Amino acid sequence: MSQSAQDAPTEATRLLCAGTYLDIDFRRRVIEELVEHEERPIAPSLGVDVVPVLTHALRARAQDTLTAFLLLGLWAGFVAVDVASTPEGAPAPLWSGAYALVCLVHWAAYAAAGRGSAAYVVDKRTLRQALRGSGALRALRVLLPVGVPALTLGYWALTFWALSEGANNWVGIIFPLLLAVPVWTHRARVAAVMRDELGRDVFRSRPRAFPDSAHHRRIARAIDREQYAGLTIYDPSRPFIGMGIPYEPWSFALELKQRKQAGDLAPNGAPPFTGRTIVELIRPRLEALRKGAAESSRDRLKDLEIEEFVYLPVGPQRPMVDYEEHSVRRHLAESVNEGGEARRYFLRVRVGAWDEQVVVSVLVRVHTQGGMLVLEVAPHVLTPVRPEFRAVDVIAARGEDDLLRDGVRALLTAPAAGFAAAVSTVRSAVSGFRTWLADPRRAVPDGPADSVRELAAAKHVSLFQEMDVSRYVKTVQDRIASGVRDALRSQGYETDQFEQQIVQISEGGIYIGSMSGGAVAQGAGAEAKHLTGSGGR
């Protein structure tokens, strides 16, 4: 994706920004990767602008912290008044202790059931998934949906029964209601962000979100240098971070043999047969595919992106890596023919489908040293953003006139949300101390460990999406194969062995792999060969 992509916010960017408010764990992972590990450059950003995601993650954390301090003040008053009103001889304050137990159980129940732990609770998994497992864990997940409401009702029944018996227990009624007020205001602030900044109609027209503090602005500027650059830093043990799930990568090596027929020999004075020669023959076929799709249909292949890309091993400190265009071009020019182990050149073909929800990337590497042609093709798929992040549209659609209903929601979610805000604030304090102690700007250089886009990815694609992914990969691989075959012919090399090994769906040849892990072939005399080794990292 080019640098101009920052001027066209994508649907995936919008959903990831919303996810920082809806999922505390996702927000924590984003801040951990981008702020706590400032020494790491970010992974290639496919279909997402990471800077607004980081900005909203920091804002959401700040809002949680504010809510937690308000709740802390109310809890201090709750305990103090409860202690003052507790009769002599009682072992402990009754009402504040009982309500603290209710809050703890609420929060634990949401965590165990796989539901969001922020002020807005969203389901992270289906009921069937939640009930998977055996033994005590499954029994716990079955009992929690019943036990938690029963415990809450039991608390309120106890308070009103005590009041009817003449006990002076107003503290056990007033303070739980007061504790819902900060959660209510927190929900109102989040709803305003969802409506005014992250709504489907307003997100594209608003200015790009950028962090406020100088420290985070420095990180954001580093992200801008890296996320759309033509090179990335990588750790050899963690290649292809940010590309998604490998989709049946394959490769082969072919001995280069000149044809015996004189008419098929390469003309005298022809340029040497190198990786660059093959790349320059593959690219026009991919460009023709894009042009043809644009002229004849609305297929996403009309937006196919073709870029040269280079991976550099971890080396200098992050600020010392040169992402200027002339430096990137130099790396590309030097690496395309070298076939080295550390610095690796790829032709990257990218299709952003389903509003950048499904991103298909095909990375092609070819080199011709030692009288051999080596072709490596590594398709990858980024699965859609997790469906629970789409709650942003539900929240934004409720409007500002839903105060009473939202107040009831705040009262029901206040026990879990208050405890979650406290946990988030403690984690933020630990994170800040850990970052200060580690001083990541002076840490040992490292490659990216996680991709923000991959952190938010669902585990599965729909059948329609799977069909589209298969079609995109097959079509791109066919263009790659034809380009390599024509390059061999233009230099007078034999192509029979190549045609027996490569993907040739349209001509009834061999098709290697499929998304479901099988192999398919078509045409008379076709064969199917399955290559293992795909799957997630």
Where do the structural domains in the chain lie, given as residue ranges? 3-216+387-455, 245-382+462-529
Give the separation between CA 85 and CA 211, rounded to whole angstroms.
47
**pLDDT of residue 260 exceeding 80:** no
Paired residues of 358 in beta bridges: 353
Q: 353-365 pLDDT, tens per residue?
A: 888 889 999 999 9
DSSP symbol at 37: T
Percent above pLDDT 90 for the chain: 30
Cα-Cα-Cα-Cα dihedral of 329, 330, 332, 338, to 10°? 170
User: Using 50, 70 and 90 to split pLDDT, how confident is the model at 277?
Assistant: confident
**pLDDT of residue 293 exceeding 70:** yes
User: Using 50, 70 and 90 to split pLDDT, how confident is the model at 483?
Assistant: confident
**pLDDT of residue 424 exceeding 50:** yes
Q: What is the mean pLDDT of residues 468-477?
A: 91
Q: 262-274 pLDDT, tens per residue?
A: 455 555 555 678 8
**pLDDT of residue 146 exceeding 80:** no
**Residue-level pLDDT at 261:** 62
Paired residues of 309 in beta bridges: 346
Can you state the percent helix, strand and coil of the chain, rounding each to 5?
Answer: 55, 10, 30
Q: Is 517 helix (H, G, I), strand (E, B) or coil?
A: coil
Lowest mean pLDDT of 162-171, 380-389, 451-460, name the range.
Answer: 162-171
Q: What is the phi/psi pair of residue 273, to 5°? A: -85, 105
Mean model confidence pLDDT for the chain: 80
Percent above pLDDT 70 for the chain: 80
Write the burial class of residue 72 (CB in 10 Å: 0-12 exposed, 13-18 middle, 19+ buried): middle
Which one has a higher pLDDT value, 492 or 345? 345
Paired residues of 528 in beta bridges: 511
Q: What is the mean pLDDT of residues 503-513?
A: 42
**Residue-level pLDDT at 115:** 55
User: Using 50, 70 and 90 to split pLDDT, how confident is the model at 427?
Assistant: confident
Paired residues of 254 in beta bridges: 373
**pLDDT of residue 57 exceeding 90:** yes
Give the separation between CA 471 and CA 352, rounded to whole angstroms.
13
**Residue-level pLDDT at 88:** 67
Give the separation between CA 267 and CA 260, rounded to whole angstroms.
14
Asked if 393 and 85 touch (Cβ cutoff 8 Å), the reply is: no
Q: Is 208 helix (H, G, I), strand (E, B) or coil?
A: coil
**pLDDT of residue 534 exceeding 60:** no
- Which residues have C-beta within 8 Å of that of residue 408, sequence separation ≥ 6? none
Asked if 306 and 283 touch (Cβ cutoff 8 Å), the reply is: yes
**Residue-level pLDDT at 254:** 83
Q: Which residue has the tokens 């946990």?
A: 423
Asked if 56 and 21 touch (Cβ cutoff 8 Å), the reply is: yes
Give the separation between CA 155 and CA 173, rounded to whole angstroms.
10
**Residue-level pLDDT at 169:** 72
Q: What is the mean pLDDT of residues 18-44?
A: 91
User: What is the 3-state secondary structure of 127-140?
Assistant: HHHHCCCCHHHHHH
CB atoms within 10 A of CB 489: 16
User: Using 50, 70 and 90 to split pLDDT, how confident is the model at 378?
Assistant: very high
**pLDDT of residue 107 exceeding 60:** yes
- The DSSP-derived string for 361-402 is EEEEEEE-GGGEEEEEEEEEEEPPBPGGGGHHHHHHHT-SS-
Of the segments 203-217, 244-258, 363-377, 510-524, which one has the largest average pLDDT value?
203-217
Q: What is the mean pLDDT of residues 366-377?
A: 85
**Residue-level pLDDT at 502:** 67
**Residue-level pLDDT at 130:** 47
Q: Which residue has the tokens 């007061």?
A: 178
**Residue-level pLDDT at 223:** 95
Lowest mean pLDDT of 12-21, 189-198, 445-454, 521-530, name the range.
Answer: 521-530
- Which residues have C-beta within 8 Å of that of residue 229, sequence separation ≥ 6? 323, 328
Give the separation between CA 183 and CA 294, rounded to whole angstroms.
50
Q: What is the mean pLDDT of residues 405-427?
A: 79
**pLDDT of residue 87 exceeding 80:** no
**Residue-level pLDDT at 504:** 45
Q: What is the mean pLDDT of residues 301-318?
A: 90
Lowest mean pLDDT of 32-36, 171-175, 327-331, name the range.
Answer: 171-175
**pLDDT of residue 136 exceeding 80:** no
User: Using 50, 70 and 90 to split pLDDT, how confident is the model at 515?
Assistant: very low
User: Using 50, 70 and 90 to split pLDDT, how confident is the model at 509?
Assistant: very low
Lowest mean pLDDT of 55-64, 188-197, 406-415, name the range.
Answer: 406-415
Q: What is the mean pLDDT of residues 364-370?
A: 85
Q: What is the mean pLDDT of residues 462-487?
A: 89
**Residue-level pLDDT at 370:** 77
**pLDDT of residue 89 exceeding 80:** no
User: Using 50, 70 and 90 to split pLDDT, how confident is the model at 248?
Assistant: confident
Cα-Cα end-to-end distance for the chain = 23
